[in-house]
Structure 1
Amino acid sequence: MATKLCGVFLLVVSIRACEGDLHFASYYGDHMVLQKSPERAVLWGYGPEGAQVTLTLSGPSKQNASVVTVTKGIWRVTLDPVEAGGPYNVTAAAQSGTATLMDVLFGDIWLCGGQSNMWLQTSKIFNASQELDLSAKYPHVRTFMAALNLSETEETDLIEVEIPWSVPPANVAQFSAVCWLFGRYLYETLQYPIGLVESCWGGTPVEVWSSPRALQRCGLHQTGNGPKDNSVLWNAMIHPLLNMTIKGAIWYQGEANAAYNQEKYNCSFPAMIDDWRMAFHQGSGGQTALDFPFGFVQLSTYEQGSESDAFPNIRWHQTADKGFVPNSRMKKTFMAVALDLPDATSPFGTIHPRDKQDVASRLTLGALAVAYNKKNVSFHGPFHKEIRSSPTSVNITYDQKVSVSPSKDIFEICCSGVQTPCGPESHWVAAPIMHWGPTTVQLSTSLCPLPGGVAALRYAWRDWPCEFKACPIYSASGILPAPPFIKDLSSSQRKPGT
């Protein structure tokens, strides 16, 4: 296991000793993937001050050599667009020497961030041996992993590299399972190279991955120490990557915010996405899209039988309190609902469910629809488009055909006569499913002891709402679960979003 140090791979070794010699920045290396056309890949590195660096690309298609001058110890080249494929050799040459990247492919680069459920390695998931055996069949899905480092200031380059660019099956066992499977599934549809960049740290809140300007938008101030110190991972593990041209990002985080600035997550998470988009766009000289697609995993489960609203609240806040994405606050985003994938016997704790295949598959559907504009791709479960209440029932109309299993308690109603808006302290009672049709579900309000009807409705509003793939509402195919929601019905004819 090695990091690239002046052309030699030595795992998790500081790159800083190379500065002054002609070499590429830390996250360039043999076997890497660079962003394909129509975007233009950015290459940069270090060299003697004032030196003339000539960059050449040799492979299936030719490009004119680029000549740049080292300024403040750094050189930088933006390539002309290159179609998907390869392999290429990329050479930077100066009077003081040369540096060459071998076996470089062009494809799509996806950044994978978050906390321990993104970090959870492929060797630890269900069917790990089978997945690792399969990985050798995907040599065009390449992986790279940043090492865990903190910084109080914004770093220009990664302090260390954990896993250099690798060709499967090398290092897949130690790589993020969600990230790897997402890339593999994308490749199966797209059939061109995919580059995966993992930068995540277990147990970390969103604040450490956010720049100070993003946090200021949400009224968040400096708190904590170590990996919970605001912006320290933004500084060390995201800011150094900004010059890289990327296609998009996926994210699995939120558990750490269930008990840390929970009430701010509906601001801090969307603000982080907005800020990453702006920063990557600027850092790449406009090559990474200003609205690059961003996918995320909605929290799975933790404590069976828990009465806490912490996980339900974070799931809701992950959608900027809309319940679904993309939405007006979170454009060009996609979400994998995971509350129906609990793992009570996980040896890594229930907070780390081992079924990452379904998580990655749901993310991939979102990416194909949102990032790649594939038509007729169903990528989200049913969400209500109309809710009407009567003295005896609540009638829900969904935005698509549904597959329904009877349930007595996953829907809950807040009875009128209590203080509104309904909250955790309100009187919530079960609303059993009575009838359903192709796009409708009818609930009974018979358990509401107060006159005056229903003040609010919620669905799957608990930490562990159902057993494995056994929630009551799915898409007609039975593949995509309905996301949780909470809805004020004080105006019983109100439609969602109004």
Structure 2
Amino acid sequence: MNGFNACDYQFFILCTTTLLYVVSVGTVLLRTNGDAGTFAADHTFRLANYFQDRMVLEADIPGSVLWGYGKPGAEVEIELLGDILLTGINDEGLWKQSLWAGIPTGPWDIDVYQSERGNYTGHVVLRDVYFGDVFLCVGEANMAFPVAKMFNASEELAASSEFPLIRLMRISPDSSFSALPEPRILQNWTIATPDSLKDFSALCWATGRRVSEDIRSRFGQKAPIGLIGAYRDAASPIRGWIPPNSIGHCTGTMQQPGTDSVLWNAMIAPIKTLRFTSVIWYQGESDAALDADTYGCLFKAMVEGWRGNFFREFFGIVQLGTRNSEDVPGATAQIRWEQTAEYGQVPNEALILVFMASAMDLADPESPFGSELPRYKEEIAQRLLAGIVSVLYYRHIPFQGPFPKRIQLGPDNASLCIEYDQQINFTPNAASNFEICCDTPIFRTDNWKDCRIWHNTTSRPSLSAGNTIVVSTPCAGNASASFVQYAWAVTPCGYKNCQVYATDYLGDPKGLPGPPFVLPTNWTRDDYNLV
């Protein structure tokens, strides 16, 4: 897989928009007569194409939904666990039926019949179906990065046989001007094996495996986990993933006709009837090369738009990772900030029921696939697990790295104290991760984006408090420090070598990394509504 730099992303948007979407339209027209289908014009009785043998359906409230096609006016009977559910087929040849929540894990066969005047005229059966947790993994190149290329790939592939209840499906990375009734399936539901797993998302798999292991360790039994991959290994700006009419007031310098919602239409809208435990989202690399200023508005619009279409509201994100260089200085760091709606942490009042894993300290500069595609996916999965366990499964374990709760500029203007919300593990580096913006009486900065120069500075842990860092201010003369930023670089540090970490996390002595931030030099956490 070749890496994508900013020029690739600009080229993708500015130079090939017409070609991309001409191809997309052709794909949609081909689907009309292919296995992805549109409405069944001949009224063939069948389920939607992603209901297949060996799948995992969501077990939790409100219960999963089955739907499909058939003869208008006929009835549908669904037989499961000795019970029969009845529904009708409407005038368009569509039917839909909700299952009840809390169905035991399985495996089960689900028989679905079409009935006309007491006679069965159609029958399909789903075999080896389990009920459990289902994760939808979405994003661009880092989410698409396959198991076969990650660190410890051979061990992961060899261990796949130990997880027969983790089932995989992948949606084809298509685009469409309008919402499709069904997606094109690139990989049918399958049991994880070295062959079926090698090209599947490394991050999605590593996260699902850890969830399975966590459930097994707590309950002593293997847990069904469904992993659905809906990602592209090419540049995929966020506008393409947002449902129609959800972008609203978000504007930006890089708007392009025909790009909005095309990925949502082809890859997400067709499966929105499925129930998901959570979305796992890793995207933003292409937007860092395009328009970082608008990303926060677009990301919030996307989350709200998806929640308007899915019942489940949980949303896990990976805060953007590293690369050796960037064409737009500061854009990657700003995307990381915008991914939190400029709060620095999630969940918050703007992004409720969202959890996050940071990837800013997992640099892989020698990656043969490009520095923007680091092979460290197990570490991200482990950090996502903390959010899943705490936010989804209501076990109160730490899932956020240290974040300031108070910043105070000293009376001598020579230093400022940053008090964190937890004990910290401070790593002294040759180059500090902290930078200061200095104001003068002539040039005052009310917004961090207007700061002309950020000054590197030194930092040290407080001698009297285990959760406080003292940062020197390099402002000279009548200048004073107005803003402080931390880890505000495309690659702020080497592998797990940033300055601020939690003291412990699930056996990792390094702990979770403190996320990047940019804040005023006199600030308290009370100014934010973190939930």
TM-score, normalising length: structure 1: 0.90
List structure 1 runs of 4+ shifted beyond 6 angstroms: none
Q: Out of 499, 502, 507, which is 1:475 matched to?
A: 502
When the two structures are aligned, how many residues end up with a matched partner? Answer: 468
Distance in 2 between residues matched to 1:234 and 1:305, nearest whole Å: 28
Q: Residue 216 of structure 1 aligns to a residue in which SS?
A: coil
Match of 1:69 in 2: 89
Match of 1:294 in 2: 315
Deviating more after overlay: 246-255 vs 296-305: 296-305
Q: Residue 174 of structure 2 aligns to a residue in which SS?
A: coil
Q: Out of 23, 46, 59, which is 1:36 matched to?
A: 59
Distance in 2 between residues matched to 1:449 and 1:220, nearest whole Å: 37
Shift of 1:18: 8.6
Match of 2:202 in 1: 177
**CA-to-partner distance for each residue in 1:420-474, whole Å, 9 max, x for gaps?**
13436522112211333411111122x3234343111000011111001100110
Residue identity opposite 2:149 in structure 1: K
Q: How does 1:169-248 map to 2 (within 5 A)?
A: 169=193, 170-191=195-216, 192-201=223-232, 202-219=234-251, 223-224=255-256, 229-248=259-278
**CA-to-partner distance for each residue in 1:158-216, whole Å, 9 max, x for gaps?**
1x100111111151111111111111111111242111111111310110000121112
Distance in 2 between residues matched to 1:27 and 1:266, nearest whole Å: 32
Match of 2:337 in 1: 316
Distance in 1 between residues matched to 2:356 and 2:373, nearest whole Å: 18
Q: Residue 419 of structure 1 aligns to a residue in which SS?
A: coil
Identity %: 34
Match of 1:334 in 2: 355
Match of 2:417 in 1: 395
Match of 2:19 in 1: none
Shift of 1:364: 1.1
Q: Residue 162 of structure 2 aligns to a residue in which SS?
A: coil
Deviating more after overlay: 324-333 vs 31-40: 31-40
Residue identity opposite 1:198 in structure 2: G
Distance in 2 between residues matched to 1:165 and 1:248, nearest whole Å: 18
Q: Residue 382 of structure 2 aligns to a residue in which SS?
A: helix
Task: Tell me, yes or no, if the aligned pair for 1:457 and 1:486 is still in contact at 8 Å.
Answer: yes
Counterpart check, 1:433 vs 2:463: no
Distance in 2 between residues matched to 1:450 and 1:267, nearest whole Å: 39
Task: Tell me, yes or no, if the aligned pair for 1:262 and 1:310 is still in contact at 8 Å.
Answer: yes
Q: Residue 215 of structure 1 aligns to a residue in which SS?
A: coil
Residue identity opposite 2:148 in structure 1: S
Q: Residue 387 of structure 2 aligns to a residue in which SS?
A: helix
Relative to structure 1, the CA distance from residue 318 to residue 493 in structure 2 (aligned partners, 3 Å threshold; closer, same or farther) is closer
Q: How does 1:24-423 map to 2 (within 5 A)?
A: 24-58=47-81, 62-94=82-114, 95-158=120-183, 160-169=184-193, 170-191=195-216, 192-201=223-232, 202-219=234-251, 223-224=255-256, 229-280=259-310, 288-289=311-312, 292-304=313-325, 308-375=329-396, 377-390=397-410, 391-407=413-429, 408-417=431-440, 418-420=443-445, 421-423=447-449
Relative to structure 1, the CA distance from residue 221 to residue 164 in structure 2 (aligned partners, 3 Å threshold; closer, same or farther) is farther
Distance in 2 between residues matched to 1:361 and 1:493, nearest whole Å: 32
Q: Residue 72 of structure 1 aligns to a residue in which SS?
A: coil
Distance in 2 between residues matched to 1:306 and 1:468, nearest whole Å: 22
Q: Residue 272 of structure 1 aligns to a residue in which SS?
A: helix
Shift of 1:84: 4.0
Task: Tell me, yes or no, if the aligned pair for 2:77 and 2:84 is still in contact at 8 Å.
Answer: no
Distance in 2 between residues matched to 1:306 and 1:219, nearest whole Å: 22
Q: Residue 212 of structure 1 aligns to a residue in which SS?
A: coil
Deviating more after overlay: 363-372 vs 297-306: 297-306
Distance in 2 between residues matched to 1:165 and 1:77, nearest whole Å: 21
TM-score, normalising length: structure 2: 0.84
**CA-to-partner distance for each residue in 1:256-314, whole Å, 9 max, x for gaps?**
1112232111111011001101111xxxxxxx23xx21000001111259881110111
Relative to structure 1, the CA distance from residue 435 to residue 247 in structure 2 (aligned partners, 3 Å threshold; closer, same or farther) is closer
Relative to structure 1, the CA distance from residue 71 to residue 186 in structure 2 (aligned partners, 3 Å threshold; closer, same or farther) is farther
Relative to structure 1, the CA distance from residue 92 to residue 259 in structure 2 (aligned partners, 3 Å threshold; closer, same or farther) is same
Residue identity opposite 2:403 in structure 1: F
Structure 1, unmatched stretches of 5+, are: 1-11, 281-287
Residue identity opposite 1:278 in structure 2: G
Q: Residue 171 of structure 1 aligns to a residue in which SS?
A: helix
Relative to structure 1, the CA distance from residue 313 to residue 98 in structure 2 (aligned partners, 3 Å threshold; closer, same or farther) is same
Distance in 2 between residues matched to 1:17 and 1:322, nearest whole Å: 43
Distance in 1 between residues matched to 2:300 and 2:277, nearest whole Å: 19
Distance in 2 between residues matched to 1:36 and 1:305, nearest whole Å: 43
Residue identity opposite 2:466 in structure 1: P
Counterpart check, 1:453 vs 2:477: no
**CA-to-partner distance for each residue in 1:96-140, whole Å, 9 max, x for gaps?**
321111000000111111111111111110111110111111111
Task: Tell me, yes or no, if the aligned pair for 2:437 and 2:451 is still in contact at 8 Å.
Answer: no
Deviating more after overlay: 354-363 vs 426-435: 426-435
Shift of 1:217: 3.7
Task: Tell me, yes or no, if the aligned pair for 1:415 and 1:450 is still in contact at 8 Å.
Answer: no
Distance in 1 between residues matched to 2:253 and 2:265, nearest whole Å: 16
Deviating more after overlay: 177-186 vs 434-443: 434-443
Residue identity opposite 1:128 in structure 2: A
Match of 1:487 in 2: 519
Task: Tell me, yes or no, if the aligned pair for 2:253 and 2:291 is still in contact at 8 Å.
Answer: no
Task: Tell me, yes or no, if the aligned pair for 2:252 and 2:293 is still in contact at 8 Å.
Answer: no
